[in-house]
Every structure is written in structure tokens, then in C-alpha cells.
Chains A and B, each alone.
Chain A
Amino acid sequence: MEFLDQFTVTTLRSATPIVIAAVFGLFSIRAGIFHLGIEGLMLASAFAAVAVGTASGSAWIGLAAAIAVALLLSVIYWFFIDQLRADTVIAGLGLTALCVGGTAFAMQALFDQRGQMASTVRLPRVISGVDEGLLSYVSELTVLTWATPLLIVLAWIVLRRTHLGLQIAAVGDYPYGAVAAGVDASRVRLVAILLTGFGCGIAGCQLAIGDVAGFAENMTNGRGFFALAAMLFGGFSAIATALAGLFFGFADAFGIFLQLNDRSGLPTQFVLMAPFLLTILIVTISGAIRQRRDRL
């Protein structure tokens, strides 16, 4: 049982940033924006959480800074793809590259550190002070992991039960119709991208001062792209996307388990490949399903 408890908790911990980024990424993808900047937004927020959190001594201020940075970068991204009609994919990749370079640059310029830096603050735990049994594992979960179900429900409500959600879907599915019906498409895209940025801010913060208490260059390591795969696999529905994100957490936990317990001499690189292979599989399956549905 102890093993199972540990495994479950590791799954939840690894899944948290991916699930949050994926569920909030839905706002962009529903609005018709294939947002490859998610990876970069998460990275920039992770850095902001560590930098501001450490400077202020408060994890909450770190979280606020992470969200603020992600929102700011989101506005820039919106300006380019909406106002200047830049290609969403190339601008998204550019944004991510900018964040990879920018965080490395800021780390060296502001803190004179290279490669990585530690954080003195961590997000608070909901349950603490327990040393044994199931609760000792559960006490590793940060407040953001506990808040994740709430965030998922929130995203679902906005997407499915509000006027805004309807407008976002309209702009994504049939932009000319939406504009003809009097929807300000630019404004709706801005709100959608900002909501995605909000989620990326939380996800990045969880990654940096939730799990490991530190920032490392390129620490997101593809998680933003996993989030995109989760959205595709989840068929753009909030609940299914969250479950797909959870599956990535499971794969991650499984990889950690193999690295710790495998004696067969399987090289670690092959274990680390698992989430990437899983993403390819997921994207292929969801593509095939969509293809079949379109044909009918």
C-alpha cells in the first residue's frame, strides 16, 4: 500500500502543472489559436516565481509575480498574432525561444547565477506535520495541487456555461460568423489568451516553487507541449483534457519509479523518452479519431 500511496502522490504532483496549463490552454485553442508559447510562458513564470518569491520572502508574492509575467507576455503575444497578424505557430515558437533566452539572461544579469538557482520559499502545504502513513505523502502536495480540481471546474464553467465561453468557441469555429453577429473577435482572443496566460502562470509557479524549490534553465522541458497534446487528446473538452494531463503525470511517476527500482540496466534516456513517445501516440490517436469523424 505504501508504494501505491507514493506512486499516486507522485502522479498528482507531476500532473499538476500540465493539467492546469492544458485546461487553461483550452481557452486559446477554442478561440482558434494553436498557442505554442505556453511552454515559454510556463518557463518565464517559473523564473518569476523563484526570483520574486526569494526577493520578497513570500511564496504568495512569487505566485502573483508569476501570473503577472505570464499575463504581460500574453498581451505581447496577442498584439503580434492579432494586431500584427503574425503567424501563430512561428510567433509562439518565437515567444518560447524569447523566454528560454530571457530567463537565462535575467538569471545571469540579475543574480549572477548560471544554469540554476535555488528558491528560499516554497508554496505552503495544506496538510503538514505528519510523518507517517498515507498523510505523510499527501502532505507533499502543495496548495495549488489541491486547488486544481477547483480550477478545472472553473474553466469548464467558463467554457460551457457562460456567454464568454460561447463567444470564444464562436471566434474559433467560425470567426466571420462571430464578427457578423457583433462579437469583437480581437477582444475575445485577448481574453482567451489572457486566461491561458493565467493558467500558465500558476503552472509555472507550481513547477518552480511547488515541487523543487528552484529554477533551472529550460526546466519546463516540453511540459507546455505535453499540455497541447493533452488538449488534442481531450478533444478540447475541459474534463477529458484534465484526465489526459493526469495521464502525463502518471507516465512521469512511472518513469521516476523505473529509474529508482529498475535493475535491468535499461538506460535512463529510454525511460525519459516515455512522455514524448506517449505524446506522439496520443496525437496520432486523436488525429485518427478526428479524421474518421470528419469523414462521416
Chain B
Amino acid sequence: MNRVGQGAAAILPIGIAVATCMLLFALAGYDIISVILGVTEGALTGFGSFQQTLRWAMPLLLIALGFLFCLRAGEFNIGGQGQMMMGGLGSVAVALLFPGPVWIAMPTALLAGMLCGLIWSGFAGFLKVRYHADEVIVTLMLNFIAVLLVSWVTTGPLKDPAVRGETASTPKIDSALRLGGSDGISPTLLILVGLAILAAWVIAERSRMGVQLRYVGKAPQAARWQGMAVRRLKFQAYLLAGTFAGLAGAFEVLGPNGRLVTGATPTIGFTAIVVTIVGLSRVPGIVIAAIFFGGLQAAILFLPIVSDLPSSGIKILEGMIALFVTAEFLRHWRQR
């Protein structure tokens, strides 16, 4: 298939998923027009909306790029959620506990986030390549454990005494360490994310390792006969995935959130997987898909203001897209 065909093949399932969802909402008696206008306003046209879209596109993009490496290597590492949360944990711990000059503390906090994500993902990778532990189940379980760890840290060791009620969180980090304000994006953050995209592209598309990863994923047996260290390459893919997801967590803490909050973004890791698939497992595609899903995420928070549709409606849409996205409509029809 040519590029246009590939694009069409990627957009078609999303279009059908969106149409199905709208039909469901219409049948449930909601005003579709106001929902569509609400989503557009919340993601694009409203005041500060596009900033919010970019703000949510960032973590999605970083986790999706990490997931890409594992996917290329034939590993289904769906632990991006937990790896991101552990990254946030590492980052907030450094930012709160090791006061020092900003030019040391900030890079350290970023590195700590990446390192924690790397460890979390590397653990799953180790169990997979060493013991053949099913990576889907292991990474899923590590997500649950990360949620509990964050919940413990935010209600225990690093609890903000000023916060009461349901949401537990750490205190705000020193504002000098912040990479962006609470509106979510700043030139610094965008440049850093740009560098991350560039790094991912170089590793995935222009490096020896990227070629090897693809080989290992497509034909592991042949790769072994070629003398590639298949298990080590797969393990490295896990480390890369964890590093990118950990960076996403660090950006959340040092950027928009300024602290670590329990239950802040419970489904972003899942959405990021969909982003990778929708982006056709290519870096440019993933960037576009991340902005699209970032827009949906921004709309979730905005929608209740303008429409009576519950915000869980957007979650239905995301689930629907995930269900549809790998379906082969075109191939199926062509076969007939």
C-alpha cells in the first residue's frame, strides 16, 4: 500500500469508531451537535484550549514513543502507565528531598524520573527475557503496583499536610525547579519534547539498533542465526520504553502538575498504546496521533462545562477506537 493508502487505512477505523460512538450518544438522547462543538472548543478553538491539547499530547507522545521500541522488538510492554508514575515518583522525590542549586537539582530530577521508569520497565523486561514471564500480565500488574506506591507516598512519606479530602498529593515543588506553569506548556518543555522526538526518531529509524530491533521483532529466529543478541536487544527495548515513560512522568511533575497527585491520569498509559497503533508505529504518525488524543483528553476536562454528556463518554470513544483500530476493514472487504 502507498502512503495515502496507509493514511486512509489508519483514519478509517477511527472514523467508524467515532461515528459508532456518536450514534450511541444520539440513541441515548444526547445532542450530538453540542457534543461535537464542545469537543472542538475544548481541544482547539476555546481560550487556551490548544495549549491544553499540547499539554496532554506530551505525556501521550513520550509513552507512545517508548512503547514503539518494544512493539518493534515484538514485545507488548503495556506498562507505560506504571513507568510514568514511577518516573513522577523519582522526580518528585529528588525535587523535594535534595535541595541544591537549580542547575543541579533540575537535571537530577529529570534523570531520576527517567531512571525510575527505566528500572520499572527493565524489571518486566528482565522477567520476560530471562524467565519468559508473559510481559502483558507482568506490566499490567506493575501498573497496579505503581498506583499503590504513589498512593502510599502521597499519603505517607511525602504527604502534603495542607491537602485534605479525597485527593492525596505531595507538596508543590520549588517553583524555580518548574519547567512550565500550571497551564501546562512552556518553550523549555516543548524544546525538550522536541529533542525527545528527535532522539526517538534517530534511534528507531536511523540507527543500527533500530534496524536490529525491527529484525528481532519480525523474525527472531533469523535474527538469532544472524548472530544478533536477541534477548539483550529486547531487554534494551524495555529500557528505552521505561526511559521515555519515566521522562513523561518527570515532565508531569516538573511541568504542569508541580507535584505528584494520586490518581491524576489513570488511563494515559492505555491511550498512549492506542496512539502508537493509530500512528502506524512510525514517529511522525505518532506525533500526529498524540495531538489528536491530547485533544480528546483536553476535551474530557472541558466537556462537562458545555454539554450534559458525562465525561466518561470520551472514555467510551477511546475504548471504541482501541477496539476498532487494528481491525482490517479494507482487507476484509477486498477479500470478498
User: A94, B141: Cβ atoms under 8 Å?
Assistant: no
Which parts of A71-105 form the interface with B (CB within 8 Å)?
Answer: 76, 80, 83-87, 89-91, 93-102, 104-105
- A54-62, A133-141, A176-184, A268-276: which lies at the interface: A268-276
- B147-155, B218-226, B234-242, B248-256: which lies at the interface: B147-155
Q: Is B312 an interface residue (CB 8 A)?
A: yes
Shortest Cβ distance from residue A73 to the other chain B in the assembled complex, whole angstroms: 10
A97 proximity list for chain B (CB < 8 A):
267, 270, 315, 318-319, 322
Shortest Cβ distance from residue A190 to the other chain B in the assembled complex, whole angstroms: 17
Shortest Cβ distance from residue B265 to the other chain A in the assembled complex, whole angstroms: 14
A87 proximity list for chain B (CB < 8 A):
277, 326
Shortest Cβ distance from residue A120 to the other chain B in the assembled complex, whole angstroms: 24
User: A86, B319: Cβ atoms under 8 Å?
Assistant: no
Given the interface pairs A108-B312, A280-B138, the reply to whether A101 lies near B148 with Cβ below 8 Å is no
A280 proximity list for chain B (CB < 8 A):
127, 133, 137-138, 141-142
User: B310, A90: Cβ atoms under 8 Å?
Assistant: no
Chain A positions 252 through 284: 1 when the CB is less than 8 Å from some CB of chain B, otherwise 0: 000000000000000101101100110110011
User: A86, B328: Cβ atoms under 8 Å?
Assistant: yes
Bound Cα distance from A110 to B49, whole angstroms: 30
B316 proximity list for chain A (CB < 8 A):
98, 101-102, 105
Given the interface pairs A104-B310, A109-B310, A232-B134, the reply to whether A85 lies near B328 with Cβ below 8 Å is yes
Q: Which of B148, B149, B313, B319 contacts A94 (CB 8 A)?
A: B319
Q: Which of B132, B141, B312 contacts A104 (CB 8 A)?
A: B312
A287 proximity list for chain B (CB < 8 A):
127-128, 131-134
B273 proximity list for chain A (CB < 8 A):
90, 93
Q: How many residues of B contact A (CB 8 A)?
A: 49
Q: Is A235 an interface residue (CB 8 A)?
A: no
- A123-131, A145-153, A222-230: which lies at the interface: A222-230
Q: Which of A98, A283, A290 contacts B137 (CB 8 A)?
A: A283
User: A101, B312: Cβ atoms under 8 Å?
Assistant: yes
Residue positions of A touching B, CB distance < 8 A: 34, 36, 76, 80, 83-87, 89-91, 93-102, 104-105, 108-109, 221-222, 225, 228-229, 232, 267, 269-270, 272-273, 276-277, 279-280, 283-284, 287-288, 290-291
Beyond A86-B324, A90-B274, A225-B137, list 10 extra A-B contacts (CB 8 Å).
A80-B323, A84-B332, A86-B328, A87-B277, A93-B270, A98-B322, A101-B313, A105-B315, A273-B148, A276-B142
Q: Can you list 24 contacts pairing A with B, beta carbon distance less than 8 Å?
A: A34-B136, A84-B327, A85-B326, A85-B332, A86-B323, A86-B325, A86-B327, A90-B273, A94-B319, A94-B321, A98-B320, A100-B315, A101-B312, A101-B317, A102-B312, A108-B310, A232-B137, A267-B155, A269-B151, A276-B145, A283-B138, A287-B128, A287-B131, A287-B132
